[in-house]
Amino acid sequence: MLSKKFFVMSMLILIVAFASQSFSYIQRAPGKLKNIKAFPATMTYDEVDHQMDIFKVALGVKCNHCHAQTKESAPKLDMSSDDNPKKDIAREMIRMTRDLNEKYMAQLSNTSKEPLQEITCNTCHRGNIKPEDKVNLDNHRPERPSQGPSNTNTTAAKRFSSLSALARLSNK
């Protein structure tokens, strides 16, 4: 019985080891990066790798979503290849978010001590490959104020009343 458990555990370990090896990358060791077009040339391997991790989480994808497989060894990825057209889309999105942050977000006045929120992939994607194109307010509407608001809440009550009227019109 003990030898059967040992055999099963050994096989599981071997399977995990082979599976992890089959998804290795060609450009894995830190060094000179190849074909970097959307990032500054001064970025290090670790900085680019960190950004890639952020993109994966923001879009809910793995590396092979943008990176093409090698021609020599199919399960491996060639990180510098441009064979996958999604890589060009990703580069355009990187440039777009950079432009939005530099041209528009940087121009906003900020009176708080906190830095302004930066626009990132996650701002729109929220873990999805395609951003949601509709906003669902059904579960996010504030509760109606109680009858006869106090003087301090009169302005807020009027604003809420206007917003409620607009919401009712949009639901018709």
Tens digit of each residue's pLDDT (9 = 90 or more) over 25-79: 444 555 678 899 999 988 999 999 999 999 999 999 999 999 999 988 777 899 9
| Whole-structure pTM value | 0.60
Q: Which of 110, 165, 107 is nearest to 141 (CA)?
A: 165
CATH of 20-27+39-109+116-132, one of 3.40.1360.10, 3.40.1030.10, 1.10.468.10, 2.60.40.10: 1.10.468.10
Are 79 and 23 contacting, i.e. CB atoms less than 8 angstroms apart? no
Are 53 and 38 contacting, i.e. CB atoms less than 8 angstroms apart? no
Q: Which of 124, 118, 123, 127 is nearest to 99 (CA)?
A: 118
**Structure tokens that stand for 17 in this block:** 């080891």
Give whole-number Cα distances, 154 to 17, 117, 158, 159, 163, in Å.
66, 31, 6, 9, 14
The string of pLDDT tens digits covering residues 110-149 is 888 887 889 999 999 999 999 887 777 777 666 766 665 5
